[in-house]
Structures are given as structure tokens and as C-alpha cells.
Homo-oligomer: A and B are copies of this chain.
Amino acid sequence: AALVRHRFRRSVRRHCILRDTRGPAEATRPRTRRCTAPETRRRSAMMDENECHDPNRMESSAPSPASATGAKPKKKKRRQSDVERTYQKKTQHEHVLLRPDTYVGSTQLVTDEMWILDPESGNIVRRSITYVPALLKIFDEILVNAADNKQRDPTQDTIRVDISREDNRISVMNNGSGIPVVKHREHDMYVPTMIFGHLLTGSNFDDDERKTTGGRNGYGAKLANIFSTKFTIETVDANEGKKFKQTFTENMLQPGSPRITAVKEGTKEYTKIEFEPDLARFHMTSLDNDTYRLLCRRVYDIAACSQMYGGRKLKVYLNGTRLAIKTFEDYVKLHDGLEPPVAFGRIEDRWEVGVSYSDGQPRQLSYVNAIATTKGGHHVNAIVDQVVARLQKTLKKKNKGQDVKPHLIKQHLSIYVNCLIENPAFDSQTKETLVTRKANFGSTPTLPEAMLKRIEKSEIVQTILSYAAFKQQKELNRKGGAKRA
């Protein structure tokens, strides 16, 4: 049955058809309406200048355009006002708040298995938690920016993340190059105002520069601003001898005045973003345990991933405590339930790769430019393919000359990857899967022969062989009784 409720009905006849197709149960069942309170509250401020919201005008009959152009008037006419009510144009700011999926992922609570920090043991554990993907995303945008800055300025040696659950306040500071505290002549505003307070702005639009940073879309930090009730930028530009500070409130709709003050010569540059997520939009009342532990894990991720970057050693602090993660390999081992790598290697200064077995489900833990690619992608496949190719040969010898199918091998592998990819492309704004093809990685992750040898001699081989034997036996048992291949 078509269950669309039309506001805009083209004729009484069609209206009746719509009603008729609804069953009696359907027609009487009340429907829960989504709470729209936050939208309503902010509505006046968000209104598109082009939109008509005058209720009197909306309800009044409009002159018939048909009669004006000479066409025959019909008996039951749509009213002109229906057209404006039905067909709308949104500003992009409105659209981000109205359809967050496209930009930051879901603002609904989601229950899913995720890696989180276990504060007691200090390990990373996989738990079924309830969290809001959009909140993780905006935190991530700010966090990855701080890690990206380490690549722009190798002298950066500190990232400080403070998450104050009582005040619902998060701050991320890095002491790399600040942002120029100068006015942008074309847009007539300070550069920090522009790149944190206006959509589709940034310094990452030039693809001729092959960068291995995480941010590239021109949405990132602005989305954090839009989904916050309060968002403050603070940066020092030593070149200009100035410190810049500006606070936005009400989902970026109310920019405060920038405050610019002189700093002494020799003041170290830094950038600090402090924000208060708009919990109402995330259907939350506080930064709860699950969310907090998830955000903490991302800080650990950053500490682990950025150890590969050149320049001064980067110290990452979480709520004042320095995280003691030395290498990516150590970090993999910190994960409860991941098999520790049977082989681990660093390739071309841009790849850290570990390989292990798994319990029958292919597993991966991977990062591209410090972004957690939770669904993998071509970087993981590039490693898997090499391991599978090698193991196929090994297994064939040990399996009485019979081939073992690649998918059986893949099922029993755990792959750990931390890599830097040039101008990475992801499946979507939520960046869970890398879609950049191998040829465009900007580096070639060829596994060293020594690593492949260690893999060949590991437990992985026996694990796969016993499963292959089980499958062959099951296949034999089923022959004849099977309905279809």
C-alpha cells in the first residue's frame, strides 16, 4: 500500500485513491512523530532568506498561472501556495542540520561492536556499545586536524586532548604551526574565521599537491562547529606576533567577534579548538561512558599512528596524562582479542604492517593518514593479496597438491595496517573504506621476503588446512542432498 501522506494533492480524485489504498488498521494507527524541538527553537535564525514563511501568505489562494497563460482552468486546482510549501530550497547550513547523514553520519544512537578504551586495564577492548556516529565524527575531524598539522610542521611535538564530561566540553590543542592571523582579501575576514566558520573552505583543495593528511573535504572542522552549541578557536601566529580567539555559538550561527592580541616575540605557535557538542541533536544528555571510552580510543589511535611521522617525537596527552604508546605494533598488542602479529614490518616509511591468523572471520585494524578505516579498503587488500598469493603456494604443497580457495585463506587472516596515502579517496564522508587504487597510493607496500617467510612458518597455515579439510568433508556429506550450488 502506498502510505505517503500528501500535503500537496493534485486533485480530489487522486486524493481518494490514496486514501482507499490504506487498510483500516493502517488508517487508525497513530504515528509517532519525531521530536522537532531543537529545529523549531532555532528556526528563525536558520531561515533561508529566499524562503517564504509568512503563514498568511501560505494559506491564501494565489492567482492561477494557468488562466494567466490562457490554458483552460480545471475544476479542482492546486493552490499556488502549495507549490512553495512542497518544493523547497535549503541553505547548506540548514541542510547539514536537516540531513546530517550525508555529512557526519547518523545522529541517532547506534548499538554496535566497537573498539573502546577499557579505563581499568588500559587495554583496547571490543564491546557492544551505544553511541552516535555523528558525534564520533565531529570529534574525529578536530582530532585528525591536529595530527595532520604534525605533517605540515614536523617540529610539532605535542597534542593535548581534554574531555571534560561534567561540562560537556572537549578541547584539542597542537603546538605545530598556527593559522595565519591575517585577513583574507577576497572574503574579507580573518583566515581562522573563514576556515572554521564557513562551509567549503580550506587549504586542502589543490590535488596537485600530493598530501598524506586526513582532512581534504572542506567540511571537517565546520561540521564540528555546526554540531556544537559553543565552538572556540584559539591560535598563535608568531610571524604576525598575534594571537587570535573567536567563539561561535548556536551551531555556528552566531559568530562572536574575533579577539586579536599581540604576543611576545618568540611565543610558540599553537592551535586550540574547544567545543561543546550539541547533545540534544545527538539525542544524548551527557558524554556517557560508552561515548567517552570510544573518544579516548581515538586519541590512542592518533598516538599510535603518528609515531611513524618524521620530525620531533610527538607526545599525546589525554586529560593531562601522556599516552605511553611506543609503536603501532605495541598498539595492536594492546587490543584484547586481536591475535598478536606473527610478522610485522615497516615499509617505505609510510607503511607499518602486521599479519596474523583469525578465527574464521577476516579481521583488520587499519588506519589511513590516522583515520580509522573500520571497513578496510584497498590498502588492506594490497596486503591481503600478497599474503594470500604466497600462502596459496605453501598450502597447495601441504594439501596433497589441491588448491585452497583464496576466500578460505582470507577468512583466516588478521591484517594490521598503519599507512600514509596521498590524497586518499574514501567511500563517503564517514571514511570507513579507502577506495584509492593501489597505483595512486604514492608508495608501494611490497611485503619483505622475511615477513612472508615468517607468515609461511606460522600457525596460520595449520589453521587454514584444518578448516579446508572440514569444508571438504562437509561438501562430500552434502553431495546429493544439496538443493543448489
Contact = CB atoms under 8 A, between A and B. Distances in A.
A198 B89 contact: yes
Given A340-B484, A428-B105, A262 B71 contact: yes
A2 to B, nearest CB: 5
A295 to B, nearest CB: 19
Copies in the complex: 2
A34 interface: yes
A148 to B, nearest CB: 9
A91 B218 CA distance: 11
Nearest to A205: B88
A21 B201 contact: no
A249 interface: no
A339 B484 contact: yes
A134 B335 CA distance: 36
A160 B442 CA distance: 44
A66 B106 contact: no
Interface in A404-443: 411, 420, 423, 425-430, 432, 435-437, 440, 442
A311 interface: yes
Chain A binding surface, main DSSP class: loop
A278 to B, nearest CB: 18
Interface range, A side: 35 or more
A182 B428 contact: no
Interface stretch (A95-103, A164-172, A228-236, A323-331): A95-103
22 contacts: A2-B154, A2-B309, A3-B210, A6-B209, A17-B311, A21-B310, A26-B349, A36-B208, A62-B185, A65-B183, A65-B240, A71-B262, A83-B184, A87-B195, A89-B187, A101-B427, A105-B428, A108-B440, A133-B435, A339-B484, A340-B484, A360-B411
